[in-house]
Amino acid sequence: MNVWMIAWFELRRMFRARTVLINLFVLPLLLIFILGTALSTFFNADDKIHDLDPVKVAMVESVGNKGAVSSQLNTYLQSPDIVKMIIMQDVPTTEEAEKLLRSQKVDYVVTVPVDFDHQVMTGKEAKLELMLGSNRTANMVAGTVFDSFLDEINHGQSVAIVVGSMGLKQEVAVSSGSPSDAHSYVSVGKLNDAATSYSAAQYFAVAMLIMFLLYSGGTASDSLLNERENHTLYRLQSMPISHIQILVGKMIGSSIVAIAQTLVIITVSYVLYGTNWGQQPVLLAVTCMLLIFASMMIAAIVSLMSKSSSGASNFMQVLIVAMTFFSGGFLPIPVGFIQNIGEFTLNHWGMKSILQIMLHGNISEIISSIGMLAGICAALLAVTAIVYRKVGYHA
């Protein structure tokens, strides 16, 4: 009964503080919106390839260079699939093409050598003179188009040489790239048929949820130390209440606030931002409860070992921000040393569990991640018990 009474007064104290309500309930939703909007370009949640503007290409070709291979190049560039990607513009001289490129009237310049047909017909490697512009995407698109032509010409040339040595005839030809011309040997599929990749709103909703659940632990730590610094802990200990009841009561009160915080973030992000939290509410609830428990254990350890609330607050701030950063909470981190460090953080396993739930991942993988969280919680509980036995919570 004493424990629940302390928890009730802790709830009243926290809900009366406007800063607590703003920091724990309003700020995470605001950050989810800002980060999800600003960094949405890092994600491709809808699995759609957006249409690119056609690339303007200036072509310089000698008047006398009208052989079979040059004709194949022109036919290739006029095929329906290629026309969608590039817009050709004939230019008489290289100097004029360079001026157009510098003035950004074209994105790319291709010069067909005078002896282009002769090079191909005599067995030499087919080459075009390419001049890149300032637009990287346009360079990549145009480069892919012309490289594909050259690769196929050189391949056909190699085949012709081999077949010719056998006394047969083989013409060098280039496919227009139309899907109807040839059968595709590549089947495009998805590794996960049940769901697409997560959106920016989903990713940062998870990251901010975990970070602010840890901040709930920071609030609990401040409350425990304020009782000591304000000398109100003397009054509590003068009552028939044990030290452990005071500690547990405050932890329960802060945990209830964290549960309310979780419900608000999940509900509001779903309603306002359309965040899909998956179809495993039980596993999601278990993950969140483990995160809350771990947050409270960290708060208890820091409070018991700290001498001042300012020192504990600074330590909690640094710890939470560091774990969020190394786990990719502010920005997805590619595979590397930093990501390996993130695997030792609470945030990493929390994010991994919830993101797998969002993507309808394999249940065994989700449970495995939750098991890691449970193991971390058990370790933190053991450390808390050891610290409490050695230090205790008293004025």
What percent of the chain shows pLDDT beyond 90?
A: 35
351/332 Cα distance (integer angstroms) = 11
Q: Comparing C-alpha atoms, which of 214, 212, 223 is closest to residue 306?
A: 223
Given a cut of 70, whether residue 222 has pLDDT beyond it is yes
Length of the chain equals 395
* pLDDT the model gives residue 185: 40
Counting residues of the chain whose pLDDT is more than 70, the rounded percentage is 83
User: Mean pLDDT of all residues in the chain?
Assistant: 83
Q: Encoding tokens for residue 192?
A: 């996960």
Q: Residue 364's pLDDT is what?
A: 92
The H-or-E segment that residue 132 falls in is: strand 129-132
CA distance 12 to 255: 13
Q: Which two tokens stand for residue 247?
A: 């500690």
Is residue 52 scored above 80 in pLDDT? no
How confident is the model over 228-277, as pLDDT tens digits? 888 788 777 777 778 888 889 999 999 999 999 999 999 999 999 889 99
Higher pLDDT, 192 or 134: 134
Domains and CATH numbers, the chain: 2-43+197-390 (no CATH), 55-165 (3.40.1710.10)
Residue with the two structure tokens 């607590």 = 20
Q: Where are the alpha helices (DSSP H) in 230-345?
A: 232-238, 243-273, 281-305, 309-326, 337-342
Burial class (CB in 10 A: 0-12, 13-18, 19+), 103: exposed
| pLDDT tens-digit series, residues 342-374 | 889 999 999 999 999 999 888 999 999 999 999
> Is the confidence at residue 191, as pLDDT, over 70?
no
Q: Which position has the higher pLDDT, 33 or 394?
A: 33
Does residue 183 surpass a pLDDT of 50? no
Which pLDDT value is given to residue 371?
96
pLDDT of residue 265: 96
For 323-349, the pLDDT digits (tens) are: 999 998 888 776 667 778 888 999 999
